[in-house]
A and B are shown apart, each in its own frame.
Chain A
């Protein structure tokens, strides 16, 4: 079946703009994760949902970052008043019953 999809694939924002990044997980996957991957580094955990409940948001770097998954399927990561240090690839992953996470292709955000 279809894998995890993310949109847009690329986003350029001017400093101070708000952005919204979308993740469509694999159908039926209960768990959904967001990661931030800076250039040349491994992904860093941002937040985790189980169905519609956000159970862990300890990785969100500031209160400008907000994530939601209102119906337990599609998730949106919103970044308000973007800063240059927000430039990164944002990865979404979903997981079913076993411990394997399936990653989407990512959204590359560039803040000018």
Chain B
């Protein structure tokens, strides 16, 4: 079945460090891929998405590239800020079933000044 596996956390970085959070998926067909962010005390927010192979999603300095050959969608940011501290979820849409999403378990990022 469809699944999403993401890098276990928690991840602690110093401000301005480089961030990578790994995400791989298994799917039948060609799902859309997403990264969501959940700031403390808030709901899930879409961070970025990619709908087909080799697409790159980007937002707020974060990027992720849809890699069909490695079934991956790793999240990267060149220089993290304290305000990036949050929980990050990788997800895929089941495009054959009305777009319900399958999520990874989340990676908690803490950025220290």
* A binding-site residues for B, Cβ under 8 Å: 31, 33, 35, 40-45, 48, 50, 55-56, 59, 91, 93, 95, 99-106
For residue B109, CB closer than 8 A to chain A, the reply is: no
- B105 CB contact (under 8 Å) in A33, A41, A99: A41
Interface residues on B, range: 20 to 34
Per DSSP, chain A at the interface is strand
With A99-B93, A101-B46, A103-B45 known to touch, is A45 a contact of B99 (CB < 8 Å)? no
Docked CA distance A101–B103 (Å): 13
- Measured between C-beta atoms, what is the minimum distance from B40 to chain A in Å? 12
Beta-carbon contact of A45 and B44 below 8 Å: no
8 A Cβ contacts from B44-59 to A:
44-46, 49, 51
